Structure 1
Amino acid sequence: MTRLLVECTYVFQHPKVNSGIQRVVRNVINQLPETVDGVQCIPVAMFKGKLYRVLKLGPLDNPFFNGLMAFGGRLERLAHRYHQLHQRLDQRCTSQWTRRALYVAYRLTAVAGFSVPLRLIDQLNRYHLPKRCSPLQHQPGDQLVLLDSSWHADFFPLAEQLKRDGVGIVSVIYDLIPLTHPQFYDTRLVQIFNEWFDWISKIADGYVTISTTVRDQVREELHRRVGPAKADTLWFDYFHLGSELDLSEASAAVEPRLTRLFATSEPVFLMVSTIEPRKNHGYLLDAFELAWAAGSKARLCIAGRIGWKCDALLARVREHPELNQRLFMFNDLSDTSLEHAYSHASALVFPSYVEGFGLPLVEAMQRGLPAMGSDIPVFREIGGEFMAYFDLAAPQSLVDLVTHMENTGTFPAARTVSEWRWLGWREASAQLVKRVLRNLKKAPVAVERQHADCP
């Protein structure tokens, strides 16, 4: 074994995207140690059938180019939403001729409005590549760590060639939710993720997840897909994510509407996540409507970009009688504004049906903000006795937590969040590398504490 090649292709190509996995990848790469136990760690990207060493993960110091890339990112998201709209309309059409006409209109608009501009932006991007990366020759014994969201990638043939050339493959898996809970996603994404997992189950030598909960799920899924004999030749491990908001700038301005929200004395309960079905915002609204009906003055602040399958939820928020009174929504907060929200809220509320980790919980609690979450295994793994938990089958259970805190001024958890400790991104990145290496070297694994009071 010579080197760890840590892949970050999507984030390299979309440096302005700052949600979920992209935040993890950026922080792990930016904190990646140069060497661990004599093994060199190299960030890499793969595109156009070639392997590149990443010299600069973030955008260049070029306002015009960065603005163009940001526009390209927004255009990609708009293209995705347009595709979702077409799918919904297509499903409602009963006439074959109407569906055909709708498809022709969709293709003409998609090509002229999205595909052509995005291709031009991609061509311009190629001129700047030498400033951000350089070709890298792989070597037998290298280990390729697929850290980024590779189910969207087109580098599968290259990865397979590297495997044939003696490069080991390690897959980082964030969750299996598209497989275990497909109802929360578009059919096409579920299909893509399933095809990707079939591919990764055949090519990877080992798997690193972001929680013990997901590690056990991946091991079970591999046993099911490839059989116990093959699965038992593979290795499975995990690492935990850090907590710093690396794009927060002390000199940057906080969203004025957010500042006004926290300027009064009433408690504010904060929800941070992409707005999509499995995050369960509807449960949150149900609970707070019950609390408001009972006389609570608590306010609910929803922060997160707009995702998918959320039209009904967005309409419910935008038409809500408490909007901008006791209910607030922000869809494009900067890290600076998010830092302000974490620092001034009364508690975080996180009612997800299922998670691979739950990064907002760590971000909040590391800043001393207590967290209430749905009673699911991964939240117990992260929060232990420092969190308060509610029953997703009973919104009143969350109401009881909110009103208890509002009436007593104390947070209803067994242990105080001030005693809670967690690792930062530097430690998280080093932990990932060390846990890959210990499996590659077949080092004995010590018995470890997995919960929140021990990094």
Structure 2
Amino acid sequence: MPELVVLTEQLLAPVPGGTGRYTRELVTAMAASAPPTWTVAGVTATHRDLSAADVPTVAGPRALPLPRRALTALWERGVHLWPGGDAVHAPTPLAPPAPRRGRCLVVTVHDTVPFSHPETLTRRGAAWHQAMIRRAAERANAIVVPTIAVAEELERYAHGPATVAVIPHGVPSALLAPIEAAQEHATAAALDLPSGYVLAVGTVEPRKGLDVLIEAMAKPYAPDLPLVVVGPHGWGEVDLTALAEKYGLADGRLRVLGRISDEDLAVVLRRASVLAVPSRAEGFGLPVLEAMALGVPVVHSDVPALVEVAGGTGAVVPRGDPKTLAATLRAVLDDGPSTSRRVAQGRLRAQAFTWEHAATELWRLHTRFFEMASAR
């Protein structure tokens, strides 16, 4: 039986982030929809504890005989260490340099931030991603991107012979599952959630624009609500408390919850008054889709990928403009009829984004290129 290997290394990263969520949701959906003759396995670098990469219904995780740093260096230098399997899916640019003979390789590129906004990454991180993305465009069978916006940007920055397929993300099932009222109240109490709040979700790092959001929330015409921030701390030393002090956000108006489970996130999202996504750059913007699916109004920056995902159901503001962001947040909360229409349209649009659809499209890619490779 042919085997699809999914590189699940991102699940073991110190800050898995959105790509970690993508990896887990994708490999789960692909295992559930595997063609009858295929199996699915997860493969990682060597770690002392692989439990975070354990995905039910997926074989493994199997560890390659190298720690993450060594594996990254070998693949970066072009060493052809194949992770096993007849087809390999790399959910991030961490991937073998090329497919083995008779095998196929598909790589997901989530965004072109390393090219368009390298200042929002470390110098080393930007250079590594640029090199790995360019090589994937030259040597992989296919590159998967989540939006048309990323596909167009990839053409500009890393054009190559690899097929580029636009396959959007889906909404995690844990966020859509019904929640009993008693459980929701208990979770809200445990997290000490206020009765209404502006919500931001994502890894705390420079490109998320949380500095702009905090400055906006300190404006006198901003919504008179607390700001709740959900997400792990990433790189860049973004100190939210210091930013609140800098811009004069009143004591008690900033709540930082850090990393929480999907079950808790479902409650936090459902109870939010509005989701703010002031990002400077994105490839998809999963929190936008999740808020749409749960009936939460969204205010997002004019990043092309966010505009594409929201499809006109969110209120758009210019990047880096705290004054307009503050005024728009207030307008969304004050204009009930208009916001209700946007929310209804957002719910309807979100129904088209599923992990099942993503898995089906990816299987089409893998089986097509595996058959082509096997015939050579």
What TM-score results when the alignment is normalised by the length of structure 1?
Answer: 0.64
- Verify the 8 A CA contact 1:272 1:360 in the aligned structure 2: yes
Q: Which residue of 1 aligns with 2:227?
A: 300
Worse overlay, 402-411 or 172-181: 402-411
Q: What is the alpha-carbon distance in structure 1 between the residues aligned to residue 167 and residue 210 of structure 2?
A: 28
| Structure 2 unpaired stretches of 5+ | 57-66, 68-81
- Verify the 8 A CA contact 2:106 2:144 in the aligned structure 1: yes
Q: Which residue of 1 aligns with 2:262?
A: 335
**Does residue 350 of structure 2 align to residue 421 of structure 1?**
yes
Q: What is the alpha-carbon distance in structure 1 between the residues aligned to residue 2 and residue 131 of structure 2?
A: 29
**SS of alignment partner, residue 228 of structure 2:** strand
1:180 to 105, 116, 127: 116
Structure 2 vs 1, CA of residues 405 and 218 (structure 1 numbering), >3 Å: closer, same or farther?
A: closer
Aligned residue identity for 1:58: D
Q: What is the alpha-carbon distance in structure 1 between the residues aligned to residue 228 and residue 259 of structure 2?
A: 13
Shift of 1:212: 1.4
- Verify the 8 A CA contact 1:34 1:40 in the aligned structure 2: no
Q: What is the alpha-carbon distance in structure 1 between the residues aligned to residue 149 and residue 276 of structure 2?
A: 21
Aligned residue identity for 2:102: G
2:212 to 279, 283, 286: 283
| Structure 1 unpaired stretches of 5+ | 49-53, 61-118, 120-134, 224-230, 443-455
Q: Which is helix-richer, 1 or 2?
A: 1
Q: What is the alpha-carbon distance in structure 1 between the residues aligned to residue 154 and residue 19 of structure 2?
A: 18
Structure with greater Cα Rg: 1
Residues 145-202 of structure 1, C-alpha deviation per residue, up to 9 Å, x if partnerless?
A: 222x343x7xx4xx65xx3432122211111211221100111212222332343234
**SS of alignment partner, residue 308 of structure 1:** coil
Matches within 5 A, 1:404-415: 404-412=331-339, 415=342
Residues 256-313 of structure 1, C-alpha deviation per residue, up to 9 Å, x if partnerless?
A: 4633412xxxx411110111111011111222112xx237423321222111213454
**SS of alignment partner, residue 275 of structure 1:** coil
Q: Which residue of 1 aligns with 2:166?
A: 238
**Does residue 156 of structure 2 align to residue 220 of structure 1?**
yes
Give the length in aligned residue pairs: 337
Shift of 1:406: 3.3
Residues 304-336 of structure 1, C-alpha deviation per residue, up to 9 Å, x if partnerless?
A: 211121345442236776455333222232323
- Verify the 8 A CA contact 2:232 2:259 in the aligned structure 1: yes
Q: What is the alpha-carbon distance in structure 2 between the residues aligned to residue 376 and residue 318 of structure 1?
A: 28
**SS of alignment partner, residue 191 of structure 2:** helix
Q: Which residue of 1 aligns with 2:133?
A: 197
Q: What is the alpha-carbon distance in structure 2 between the residues aligned to residue 349 and residue 375 of structure 1?
A: 12
Shift of 1:12: 5.8
- Verify the 8 A CA contact 2:214 2:249 in the aligned structure 1: no
1:386 to 294, 313, 333: 313
Q: What is the alpha-carbon distance in structure 2 between the residues aligned to residue 434 and residue 21 of structure 1?
A: 22
Q: What is the alpha-carbon distance in structure 1 between the residues aligned to residue 253 and residue 239 of structure 2?
A: 20
What TM-score results when the alignment is normalised by the length of structure 2?
Answer: 0.76
Q: Which residue of 2 aligns with 1:9?
A: 8
Structure 2 vs 1, CA of residues 369 and 385 (structure 1 numbering), >3 Å: closer, same or farther?
A: same
Q: Which residue of 2 aligns with 1:92?
A: none
Q: What is the alpha-carbon distance in structure 2 between the residues aligned to residue 234 and residue 10 of structure 1?
A: 23
- Could you tell me the percent identity over the aligned residues? 22
**Does residue 375 of structure 2 align to residue 375 of structure 1?**
no
